[in-house]
């Protein structure tokens, strides 16, 4: 169970995380910015809503005190004077409240589901009950001005003169506060007004469109700067990777610039030092093997001449066999170094032309070889690649009656397949193939002069190109050697 969970996490990480360092750094920075913005918005929204709630309660309390004063004023008037006072208010241009006297409370369609409205109404009702303890009926509600009734006869707010409603009717509709108080039986005071902040309900949603747009623009700017910074940081690493890849393929890339961060400059200097040391090592290795070739051939030749002086023919033959084997081993070691260390520049190779010539040469020698054109090209060192393919083809011709060559493309890589119809290789021996001087029993019987270096040389050349040499038994019998090289390019011709 634990192993399955670990594999699942590995799979999810591989699917969700980008492959490149630039992609991963960008993802981390973008995620950090988004999480910071989200956390900041959550905290700010909570604080803003708490502040808006307190502001609305304070405004409602002050408004309730004003309404209480108006109710007490009308309670102090005789009932027959109240309409006259209301008319005077209207002729004077109105007051903060739109006032009316009705025989019964006017039905209102209140706002529902608004947290700030409910908080304001609660505070209003509590303050009114505190200021007017003897008032039997108090009703408070918020309603939209459209079709809002002002009396029990059906007159709406829109039917009143503009001079009466100029303190309530705004260009953009705002919720109207209605306070209805029973003065005496059959006399209800109707008060309509606006909150000090008429559009207070909008503060219930701090994430308004304009704020979201501003945050989106700021987030886009931060992300753009983050991506540019990540690219600026990772660009030297990409140059280092390209230089390492080119050096691994035997090319001679230009020296890395010692500019940028201190860490990159240190890494570039270390890479240049490593490249120089490896270059010196390769030169020393080549000189060493040339010296070995020169130094060993002379004593081997002297031993062969001295062996001719032996009287015993059998002993002389054994000496010659041992010296021939020693000479072959020296030549094989030198061949391994020279074949896997070919100094040439990489170029674009038309595989149809290269393999076609090799197939024709094999057919002229009497071998049965088939090949189908593919129209593919690859960037490689021509002589080295030809030598690697030639070693595989020679092995296939040596051990198989019929050979097939094929070229294909798989996942952006090019595959050159050499398949023979010979006896194949025991499964237990596949792991050791490609090692120097490793030869199987049927190889010794068919090719006694071989040294077991062909596959080793081919593998070294392929790996120097950044590819792989895959060896396996073919389905249906025979052996299959596949050269997988990166960077295949399709040739439309």
The three-point CA angle 373-377-382 to 5° equals 105
Model pLDDT, residue 141: 92
- Residue 104 neighbours by CB under 8 Å, 6+ apart: 152, 186, 188
Q: Phi and psi dihedrals of 194, rounded to 5?
A: -110, 155
Question: pLDDT per residue over 95-114, tens digit each?
Answer: 788 899 999 999 888 887 78
Model pLDDT, residue 442: 52
Closest by alpha carbon to 479, among 397, 407, 368, 366? 397
Model pLDDT, residue 490: 38
pLDDT of 314 over the 50 cut:
yes
Model pLDDT, residue 424: 80
Cα pseudo-dihedral 28, 34, 39, 40, rounded to 10 = 120
Q: Cα–Cα distance between 340 and 226 in angstroms, integer?
A: 45
Cα pseudo-dihedral 296, 297, 300, 301, rounded to 10 = -150
Poorest-pLDDT segment among 186-200, 221-235, 436-450:
436-450
pLDDT of 248 over the 90 cut:
no
Question: pLDDT per residue over 59-109, tens digit each?
Answer: 999 999 999 999 999 999 998 899 888 888 888 766 788 899 999 999 888
Rounded mean pLDDT, 326-348: 64
Average pLDDT of the chain? 79
In the chain, where the domains are located:
49-204, 262-337, 344-490
pLDDT of 130 over the 50 cut:
yes
Angle of the 209-248 helix axis to the 21-76 helix axis, nearest 10: 170
pLDDT of 180 over the 80 cut:
yes
Look up tokens 């409240």; give the residue. Answer: 97
Rounded mean pLDDT, 147-156: 86
Using pLDDT thresholds of 50, 70 and 90, give the confidence band for residue 17. Answer: low
The more confident residue out of 398 and 285 is: 398
Q: Domain 344-490: which CATH class?
A: alpha beta
Using pLDDT thresholds of 50, 70 and 90, give the confidence band for residue 444. Answer: very low
Question: pLDDT per residue over 255-269, tens digit each?
Answer: 777 777 777 788 888
| Radius of gyration in angstroms for the set of CA atoms belonging to the chain, rounded to a whole number | 47
Question: Which DSSP symbol is given to 160?
Answer: S
Q: Domain 262-337: which CATH class?
A: mainly alpha
**b/e 190-208 (16+ beta carbons within 10 angstroms → b):** bbbbbbeebebbebbebee
């Amino acid at each position: 169970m634990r192993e399955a969970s670990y594999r699942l996490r590995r799979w999810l990480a591989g699917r969700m995380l980008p492959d490149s360092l630039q992609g991963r750094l960008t993802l981390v920075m973008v995620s950090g910015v988004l999480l910071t913005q989200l956390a900041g918005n959550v905290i700010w929204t909570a604080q803003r809503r708490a502040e808006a709630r307190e502001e609305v309660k304070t405004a409602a309390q002050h408004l309730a005190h004003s309404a209480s004063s108006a109710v007490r004023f009308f309670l102090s008037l005789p009932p027959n004077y109240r309409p006259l006072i209301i008319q005077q208010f209207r002729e004077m241009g109105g007051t903060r409240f739109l006032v009316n006297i009705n025989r019964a409370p006017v039905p209102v369609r209140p706002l529902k589901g608004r947290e700030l409205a409910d908080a304001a109404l609660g505070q209003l009702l509590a303050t009114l009950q505190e200021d007017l303890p003897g008032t039997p009926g108090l009703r408070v509600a918020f309603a939209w001005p459209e079709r809002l009734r002002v009396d029990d006869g059906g007159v709406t707010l829109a039917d009143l003169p503009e001079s009466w409603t100029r303190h309530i009717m705004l260009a953009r509709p705002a919720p109207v506060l209605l306070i209805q108080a029973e003065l005496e039986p059959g006399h209800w005071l109707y008060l309509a007004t606006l909150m000090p902040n008429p559009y207070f309900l909008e503060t219930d949603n701090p994430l308004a469109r304009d704020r979201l747009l501003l945050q989106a623009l700021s987030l886009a700017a931060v992300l753009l700067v983050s991506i540019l910074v990540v690219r600026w940081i990772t660009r030297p690493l990409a140059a280092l990777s390209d230089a390492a890849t080119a050096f691994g393929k035997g090319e001679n890339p230009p020296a890395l610039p010692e500019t940028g961060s201190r860490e990159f400059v240190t890494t570039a200097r270390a890479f240049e030092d490593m490249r120089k040391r490896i270059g010196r090592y390769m030169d020393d290795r080549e000189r060493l093997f040339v010296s070995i070739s020169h130094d060993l051939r002379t004593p081997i030749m002297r031993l062969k001449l001295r062996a001719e002086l032996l009287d015993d023919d059998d002993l002389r033959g054994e000496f010659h066999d041992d010296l021939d084997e020693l000479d072959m081993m020296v030549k094989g070691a030198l061949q391994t170094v020279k074949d896997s260390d070919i100094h040439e520049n990489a170029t674009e190779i038309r595989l149809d032309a290269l393999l076609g010539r090799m197939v024709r040469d094999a057919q002229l020698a009497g071998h049965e070889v088939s090949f189908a054109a593919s129209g593919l090209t690859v960037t490689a060192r021509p002589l080295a690649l030809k030598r690697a393919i030639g070693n595989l083809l020679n092995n296939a011709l040596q051990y198989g009656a019929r050979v097939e060559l094929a070229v294909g493309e798989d996942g952006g890589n090019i595959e050159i397949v050499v398949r023979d119809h010979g006896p194949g290789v025991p499964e237990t021996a596949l792991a050791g193939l490609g090692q120097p001087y490793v030869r199987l029993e049927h190889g010794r019987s068919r090719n006694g002069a071989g040294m077991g270096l062909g596959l080793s040389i081919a593998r070294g050349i392929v790996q120097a190109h950044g590819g792989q040499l895959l060896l396996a038994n073919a389905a249906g019998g025979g052996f299959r050697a596949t050269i997988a090289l990166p960077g295949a390019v399709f040739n439309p011709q």
